[in-house]
Amino acid sequence: MADDLSVKCCIAGGGPAGMMAGYLLARAGVDVVVLEKHADFLRDFRGDTIHPSTLEVMNELGLYDALLKRPHQQVTQLKGRFGTYETVFADFSHLPTRAKFMTLMPQWDFLDFLAGEARRYPKFKLMMNTEAVDLRWQDERVVGVVARGPEGEFNIASTLVLGCDGRRSTVREKAGLKVEDIGAPMDVLWFALTRLPDDPIDPVGNFGAGRIFVMIYRGDYWQCGYVIAKGGLEDVRRRGLQAFRDDIEALAPFLHGRSAEVTSFDDLKLLSVGVDRLTVWHRPGVLCIGDAAHTMSPVGGIGINLAIQDAVATANLLAGPLRDGTLTDADLQRLEDRRESPTRRTQSLQVAIQNNVIKAALGRRGQPVKPPFLLRLIGWVPYLTRIPARIVGLGFLPEHVDKAVIP
Ligand SMILES: Cc1cc2nc3c(=O)[nH]c(=O)nc-3n(C[C@H](O)[C@H](O)[C@H](O)COP(=O)(O)OP(=O)(O)OC[C@H]3O[C@@H](n4cnc5c(N)ncnc54)[C@H](O)[C@@H]3O)c2cc1C
């Protein structure tokens, strides 16, 4: 089949990794197409956090003020509540960044903002409603993708295919990249409840006997996540809707009857949690980043941050070789070498929290929960709240825009 479109870089997936990589590469003068299989950026409960490190990147790009004109909430502290014991465990107000807070912004707004900015560059093309369905090969090298859009299938030729298509990545599957499944002991049921003016505003993780309930302030509503043991939805259903509502009210008594807004189990959206990582992130002509390379747990809300950091590193390292036509496999390996270590460290931390805090709390049905020692220590020595704030807010290796590559 002949090529219908030819670009230097074809990005599969218009999530945080794909849109940021597309924007930066186009700004650096690389012609790029982003394929997004959905018709819009609307996704419920997909993770709406924008971290201080991402805001720092936006600042370096001159986009900070414009982005923060979009509707959002600012969060300076994260809190945990274990029974009656409540403590701040992360305080962003001391971070060495312009934004000393995390924002909560609908991902639709963030991605739409990036798309709007990217369209200013003639080298950028975004194709919504268009899915990467297969890779095209020449000998052992990937040379483009087969895409399916509203008008049917077509061929794209590209020097590099960038797999940013998330945790069920078609690109990584078709490239035959090996996945190491690390696993997660829980799933999350998401739903929304009305927020009243007198409610607190900081996000709270409530740990009760055998139960975990996360509440994120979203202006006039609470984004609520009820954490269950992996595959435990049937158990929740069996106990019945009223038992579910009672659990919520017990964990967050200030709700005062608002749990009745959950009128059926259909109001709950099940998000299956997974953690995995590719053993090698690339093959000749193809590279995966973001969740496609390393599916992140929601613990700490850091997956979007990592996806954005991957995108910045990708543009810094690969824009030059892509533009000049000198891209080699060694360049792709350089990207993996840079991002593999912060990814591995972040996932190790998430898995440690999953196993030592979440699994332990979910297993203590009927017994009082005790805050872990480290959390109590942070409660006693407030200075220590700066450490989790750094890990959540900046990550292990925050990336900065290389102005020599991306003007
Ligand atoms: C329950 C839950 C809650 C979470 N909450 C948070 C949070 O609060 N904060 C946080 O930082 N992280 C959170 N995460 C993790 C976060 O969602 C991911 O780490 C992050 O979205 C990864 O970004 P990405 O761009 O790599 O992939 P994604 O966000 O998954 O984006 C992939 C995009 O590719 C598109 N796509 C898929 N296949 C194709 C294809 N074949 N062709 C074209 N397009 C395709 C999809 O439609 C999607 O738009 C959460 C995860 C879970 C499971």
Q: Which atom of ligand 1 is found nearest the CA of 111?
A: 49
pLDDT reading at 367 higher than 80:
no
Is the CB of residue 77 less than 8 Å from the CB of residue 89? Answer: no
Interval between CA 368 and ligand 1 midpoint (Å)? 35
In this structure, the residue with its CA closest to atom 31 of ligand 1 is 15
Lowest mean pLDDT among 112-116, 168-172, 203-207, 271-275: 203-207
For domain 5-182+274-393, give the fold.
FAD/NAD(P)-binding domain (3.50.50)
Which of 307, 273, 302 minimizes the C-alpha distance to 292?
Answer: 307
Strand partners, 149: 152
12 Cβ below 6 A of ligand 1: yes
pLDDT tens, position by position, 321-343: 999 999 999 999 999 999 999 99
pLDDT reading at 2 higher than 70:
no
Q: DSSP code of 32?
A: E
Domain locations in the chain as residue ranges? 5-182+274-393, 186-229+231-272
Interval between CA 165 and ligand 1 midpoint (Å)? 8
pLDDT tens, position by position, 187-242: 999 999 999 988 877 667 777 767 788 888 877 889 899 999 888 899 999 999 99
Interval between CA 15 and ligand 1 midpoint (Å)? 6
Is the pTM higher than 0.85? The answer reads: yes
Q: Average pLDDT over the chain, rounded to whole?
A: 92
Sign of CA pseudo-dihedral 346, 328, 121, 162:
negative
In this structure, the residue with its CA closest to atom 35 of ligand 1 is 13
pLDDT confidence tier of residue 84, bands split at 50, 70 and 90? confident
Interval between CA 17 and ligand 1 midpoint (Å)? 8
Is the CB of residue 235 less than 8 Å from the CB of residue 156? Answer: no
Measured between alpha carbons, how far is 280 from 276 in angstroms, rounded to an integer? 12
Which of 237, 5, 240 minimizes the C-alpha distance to 125?
Answer: 5
Structure tokens belonging to residue 283: 């093959």
